Amino acid sequence: MKRVSMKDKSAPHGEVRGPVQVAGPSATPWLNILNKCLLVAAAATVALAAAAFIVSGWSGAGSVVLGSVVVVAFFGLSLLVGHVYGRKNPSGAIGVFMVTYLVKVVGFAVVLFTLGAPTWLNGPWFAAAGVVVVLLWQGTEVVTFSRQRLQLYNDPVDPVEQPPAAGSGQAPS
């Protein structure tokens, strides 16, 4: 593994404390993104549910939790599919994301319209949780994905000395 010396900004006067190992590219970044998004969504859900409980009681808190669960299920499914399929065929992950998105939209629409809204559901808290968790989830996804190290090109291979091509006029050495 390659070692690179970098300046440590926390060290006095920018001294180098020691070698820092270079991280390689992630094989599948989707599970890491999912974990970070789940943490952010859980924190937002707890905060919103507490506020909803204070203002509207159990129906408000339950509505926040249900709204958050719907958003997490919708977006988390794509990242799980990307993780599973991305290990087998990383270049085909985007196509699988598109197909998964179509299935999710149709599937969630059918489920939500078939089941309908429960009588206890507090619409404003449900919608607020949905909007807040979607915005935080998408923001976390973008930031986490932008920090991933994705290898775009193959590593250079050391040229192996090959015999000259036939008819090149050079004698083998």
Locate 171 and state its tokens.
């004698």
Determine the pLDDT at residue 168. Answer: 58
Give the pLDDT confidence score for residue 167 in this predicted structure.
Answer: 60
Q: Mark the ranges of the chain whose per-residue pLDDT is less than 70.
A: 1-28, 150-153, 159-173
pTM across the whole model: 0.67
Q: Which residues pair with 4 in a beta bridge?
A: 20
Q: How many CA atoms lie within 13 A of 37 on its CB side?
A: 32
pLDDT score recorded for residue 148: 77
How far apart CA 28 and CA 65 sit, in angstroms, is 29
How far is the CA of 13 from the CAs of 10, 17, 123, 131, in angstroms?
9, 11, 56, 46
pLDDT at res. 56: 93
Burial class (CB in 10 A: 0-12, 13-18, 19+), 96: middle
Cα–Cα distances (Å) from 116 to 110, 111, 112, 121, 131, in that order, read 10, 8, 6, 10, 19
**What pLDDT does 109 receive?**
86
47 DSSP β-pair partners: none
pLDDT per position as a tens digit, 54-78: 999 999 999 999 999 999 998 999 8
Among 100, 97, 83, smallest CA distance to 28 is for: 83
pLDDT tens digits for range 30-52:
888 999 999 999 999 999 999 99
